[in-house]
């Protein structure tokens, strides 16, 4: 390949990284990117350097405040996507005991729908909640260093008497369970105990979230506890 | 091999967490780059709502397919702003009719500064911006003009040639020369 050929190629690459080529040239550039460039160290290096310049040119425009709603919208949508992945992986939702106002999904829907329909209903309802413009989505803070950041989330719609708690948790120690607590002004009320299924958790609580100021999950003996122990796992403040 | 700058290493770490589905890493990348991304999208589209869509779609694409970024090839910043730029230009071309109906605002690079209250732009990003602007300012006017028309106005090189009344080859030559000069100037600063 001659020097002139290379010059023609890098000229095309310059237009390519600026996204300024016409349709025919785009096809030519794509052909070169697939054939010549990977095997030519000089062209590869030039392409990477031009890409870096093109990325830096973006800074010239200056910073501009995006609308607050854009961040909120993305937060909801990314939450929905992660939840959809979880629901897709999860075989079901597990909660070992039912205490007080906790209403387990399976129980809530039992006798009305089969398992596949139940999963569909569950998915639809939670996705509806977390993607609703007025929904409140509250990530739990991990109280243990080994937990993934943002592992658990609470979500609810103001004015609706349901609170969803979902995410991923490892299995508790042998012979122990997780226990969910609702807090108000420093006092805790148990909402039930549960075990993750294949690492996934999805709970629906039939409570008015406005009556509480937060949620806590602790690890407790299999029979549950009357008061939360100091084995805190995750916590969220509304 | 060059040692990555601390801010690039930080971005690479956030990206690694993002690949694992870490939403906090995503939010941190939003905090770090949404101001620059929105500024760029607004400059290219000249339209508030279109710019919002561009930034929204870019971040969502990042969330859905974080593997598209290869940290071995480039800093995250250049990858992501290129992604935003491509989407902005595509949007401009798609919405050409709308743009003609809307009075286009193509604000100057400095007057448009509006760093978000909640989006705290870090000093290194602002420093980099100053360096890139300085390098751009050192280019001859005719080279700066073709870059501006291509990059910020979404024109193809053929459209630029037609608008300026110069041969297409001239536009290509000016573009290539400008890119090489910028590469040299910014590359030198990277090594300082």
Residues of A in contact with B183 (CB under 8 A): 49-50, 52-53
pLDDT tens-digit map of A25-71: 888 888 888 888 888 898 889 999 999 999 999 999 988 888 888 88
Which candidate, A85, A92, A65, A74, places its Cα nearest to that of A203?
A92
Domain boundaries, chain A: 3-60, 69-237
Task: Using CB atoms, pick whichever of B42, B63, B128 lies closest to residue A78.
Answer: B63
With an 8 Å Cβ cutoff, is A59 touching chain B? yes
Among A22-26, A159-163, B96-100, B137-141, the least confident range: B96-100
Could you tell me if A198 lies within 8 Å of chain B, comparing CB atoms? no
Q: Which chain A residue's Cα is nearest to B84?
A: A58
A-B contacts at Cβ under 8 angstroms? 202
What pLDDT, in 10s, does the model give residues A93-152? 333 333 333 334 433 333 333 444 555 556 666 766 766 667 788 888 888 887 876 678
Q: How confident is the model at residue B108 (pLDDT cuts 50, 70, 90)?
A: very low
Whether the pLDDT of residue B143 is over 90: the answer is yes
- What pLDDT band is residue A222 in, cutting at 50, 70 and 90? confident
Residue of A nearest to B80 (CA): A55
**Chain B interface includes A27 (CB < 8 A):** no
pLDDT at B135: 94
Average pLDDT of chain A is: 77
| Polymer length in residues for chain B | 192
**Which of B59, B114, B158 is the closest to A74 by Cβ?**
B59
Residue among B22, B75, B179 minimizing CB distance to A53: B179
With an 8 Å Cβ cutoff, are B128 and A14 in contact?
no
Q: What was the ipTM of the complex prediction?
A: 0.83
- List chain B residues with CB under 8 Å of A70: 34, 38, 52, 55-56
Q: How many CA atoms are closer than 13 Å to the CA of B17, on its beta-carbon side? A: 17
**Which positions in chain B touch A10 (Cβ < 8 Å)?**
176
From B37, B63, B132, residue closest to A56, measured CB to CB: B132
Of B40, B63, B86, the CB nearest to A19: B86
**Across the interface, do A20 and B157 touch by the CB < 8 Å criterion?**
yes
Q: Which residue of A59, A89, A199 to mutate against B (max B Cβ within 10 Å)?
A: A59
Q: Which domains are seen in chain B, by residue range?
A: 1-114 (1.10.1740.10), 122-192 (1.10.10.10)
Q: What is the 3-state secondary structure (H, E, C) of chain A?
A: CCHHHHHHHHHHHHHHHCCCCCHHHHHHHHHHHHCHHHHCHHHHHHHHHHHHHHHHHHHHCCCECCCHHHHHHHHHHHHHHHHHHHHHHCCCCCCCCCCCCECCHHHHHCCCCCHHHHHHHHHHHHHHHHHCCCCEEEECEECCCCCCCCCEEEEECCCCCCEEEEEECCCCCCCEEEEEEEEECCEEEEEEEECCECCEEEEEECCCHHHCCEEEEEEEECCCCCCCCCCEEEEEEC
Contact between A152 and A167 under an 8 Å Cβ cutoff? The reply is yes
Structure tokens at A44: 């590869």
Q: How far apart are CA B120 and CA A3, in angstroms?
A: 47
Nearest of B61, B56, B63 to residue B19 by alpha carbon: B63
| Lowest-confidence region among A103-107, B3-7, B121-125 | A103-107
User: Taking residues A177-188, what's their average pLDDT?
Assistant: 90
Rounded to the nearest angstrom, the gap between the alpha carbon of residue A153 and the centroid of all alpha carbons in its chain is 9
* Ranges A133-147, A155-169, A187-201, B23-37, most confident: B23-37
Which of A12-26, A100-114, A149-163, B92-106 is the least confident region? A100-114
pLDDT band at B3 (very low <50, low <70, confident <90, very high): low
pLDDT score of B35 more than 50:
yes
Q: Between chains, do A66 and B113 touch, taking CB under 8 Å as contact?
A: no
Find tokens 């409140």 and name the residue: A136
Phi and psi for B95 in degrees, rounded to 5? -105, 30
Interface of A with B in 83-112 (CB under 8 A): 85
Of B21, B44, B81, the CB nearest to A59: B81
Pairwise CB contact (< 8 Å): A58 & B36: yes
* A193 contact partners, CB below 8 Å, separation of at least 6: A95, A96, A97, A99, A177, A178, A179, A180, A220, A224
Cα–Cα distances in angstroms (integers) from residue B44 to residues A7, A60, A64, B10, B77, in the given order: 29, 11, 13, 28, 18
Alpha carbon distances (Å) from A157 to A216, B56, B123 = 19, 23, 38
């Amino acid at each position: 390949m001659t020097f002139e050929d290379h010059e023609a190629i890098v000229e095309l690459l310059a237009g390519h990284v600026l996204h300024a080529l016409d349709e025919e040239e785009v096809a030519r550039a794509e052909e070169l990117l697939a054939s010549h460039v990977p095997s030519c160290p000089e062209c590869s290096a030039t392409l990477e350097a031009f890409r870096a310049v093109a990325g830096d040119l973006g800074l010239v425009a200056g910073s501009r405040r995006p609308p607050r709603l854009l961040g909120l919208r993305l937060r909801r949508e990314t939450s929905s996507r992660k939840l959809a992945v979880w629901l897709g992986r999860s075989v079901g939702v597990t909660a070992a005991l039912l205490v007080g106002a906790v209403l387990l999904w399976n129980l809530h829907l039992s006798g009305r729908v089969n398992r596949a329909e139940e999963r569909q209903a569950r998915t639809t309802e939670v996705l509806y909640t977390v993607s609703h413009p007025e929904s409140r989505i509250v990530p739990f803070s991990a109280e243990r260093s080994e937990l993934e950041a943002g592992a658990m989330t609470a979500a609810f719609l103001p004015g609706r008497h349901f609170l969803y708690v979902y995410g991923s948790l490892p299995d508790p120690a042998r012979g122990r369970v997780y226990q969910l607590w609702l807090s108000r002004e420093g006092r805790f009320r148990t909402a039930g105990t549960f075990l993750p299924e294949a690492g996934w958790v999805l709970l629906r609580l039939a409570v008015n979230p406005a009556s509480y100021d937060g949620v806590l999950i602790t690890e407790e003996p299999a029979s549950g506890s009357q008061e939360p122990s100091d084995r805190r796992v995750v916590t969220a403040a509304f | 091999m060059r040692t990555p700058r601390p801010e690039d290493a930080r971005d690479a770490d956030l990206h690694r967490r993002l690949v694992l589905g870490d939403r906090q890493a995503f939010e941190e990348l939003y905090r770090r780059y949404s101001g620059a991304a929105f500024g760029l999208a607004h400059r290219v589209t000249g339209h508030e709502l279109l710019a919002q869509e561009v930034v929204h779609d870019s971040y969502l694409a990042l969330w859905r397919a974080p593997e598209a970024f290869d940290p071995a090839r480039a800093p995250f910043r250049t990858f992501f702003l290129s992604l935003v730029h491509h989407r902005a230009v595509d949007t401009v071309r798609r919405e050409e009719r709308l743009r003609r109906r809307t009075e286009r605002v193509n604000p100057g690079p400095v007057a448009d500064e509006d760093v978000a209250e909640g989006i705290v732009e870090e000093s290194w990003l602002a420093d980099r911006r100053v360096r890139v602007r300085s390098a751009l300012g050192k280019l001859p006017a005719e080279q700066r003009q073709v870059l501006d028309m291509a990059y910020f106005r979404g024109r193809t090189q053929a459209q630029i040639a037609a608008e300026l009344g110069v041969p297409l080859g001239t536009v290509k030559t000016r573009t290539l020369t400008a890119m090489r000069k910028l590469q040299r100037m910014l590359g030198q600063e990277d090594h300082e």
